[in-house]
Amino acid sequence: MTDTSIDLLALTTTQMVEFLATMGEPAFRARQIARQLYVNLVDDIQQMTDLSLALRQKLTNHARIGSLSLQRVVSADNSLTHKALFNLPTGELIESVLMIYPDRATVCVSTQAGCAMGCTFCATGRLGLLRNLESHHIVEQVLWARRTLRQLQRQHPATPPRATHTQDGDEWWGTDGGHPDALPQTLGNVVFMGMGEPFANYDRWWQAVERLHDPQGLNIGARGLTVSTVGLVPGIKRLADEALQINLAISLHAPNDALRSAMMPVNKRWNIAELMATTRAYVAKTGRRVSFEYVLLQGQNDSPAHAAELAEQIGDLLCHVNLIPWNPVPGLPLGRSDRQRVLAFQRVLQEERVPCTVRVERGVSIAAACGQLAGATITGP
């Protein structure tokens, strides 16, 4: 049976006012409902206790909260990483990942089910594009993360955090198998780096960005929002014209066209020269630093010569390079760059004065890390 009720998360403020008017309710009720949804994080209309019983019943009869069906949640990294599997109303699966750090909490959300970009090292790309997500599907993933963090906070009351230092100087909680002493107080970061290419679903994705930033919504600052693209030039140009300046990350992964085209089919449409020209124009127009993501594959794109070529491509840009040792995907005959090669690659960039860090990977054991999300549909030996 088809669900004909209205998803409250799908309504803008104007649409909420109009919907309430059909029930004879005043406009200010929309603000009350928004506060319940995005501040109190209710997932049941009957929990909206500042509304009358009569109104709650009317809403229950005609509306619902959310359209995603949570199938399961798996955790890793001493319960600092949580991956959720959701079922869309049309049956497709998507995944989201909540990552908790000493000073912040970040959720990685999907913008599509599957992906049409076909990057050879990515599990999502093996699915092809299944469908675009609606803006409220994206917002709902963030709400799940905020609810999960709130639940964890109740389980682990805040006390002064205990930080340790790894051999690379990264601050981190102790690795003795226990839970950290304190949790961040809020979810302040959303990265659009899950399943799908955000710029291939630009309109719906941007509607979600505005909802997340809205003071009457989740009220997440622009600096806490980061979008990752494989290099869709029209999307980068469009983002440069947006009034809301969120962070831009570009998946580069190779320093020359021959190698990048073999790894990323999108390069045959917009090659590195065009991508770099567009990126320079973006930086000039916005004054914002760009991040370049670079997945390191053993023996393919991770030599010192590749690093020197990369530095030549981007050395004059206001940018930062995020080095990501490839995360295993079942069925793909690729190798993860070993530590020695990763650090050698990083040293070359540093010597060329290109800012770069090696990403601290999270959730590899539960297929929640970069490039591993596939809606639990990719299997292998």
Is 370 assigned a catalytic role? yes
- DSSP helix/strand/coil, 364: helix
If we measure between CA atoms, which residue out of 188, 177, 183 comes closest to residue 155?
183
CA distances from 362 to 101, 135, 148 (A): 10, 26, 17
DSSP 125-161: GGGEEEEEPPHHHHHHHHHHHHHHHHHHHHHS-----
Residue 265 contacts residue 229 (beta carbons within 8 Å): no
- DSSP helix/strand/coil, 99: strand
Among 119, 122, 319, 370, the one annotated catalytic: 370
Is 134 assigned a catalytic role? no
Residue 293 contacts residue 229 (beta carbons within 8 Å): no
CA distances from 210 to 4, 204, 225 (A): 26, 10, 10
If we measure between CA atoms, which residue out of 73, 206, 43, 227 comes closest to residue 134?
206
CA distances from 155 to 40, 74, 163, 182, 183 (A): 18, 17, 20, 10, 10
Among 25, 95, 197, 293, the one annotated catalytic: 95
Active-site residue list: 95, 370
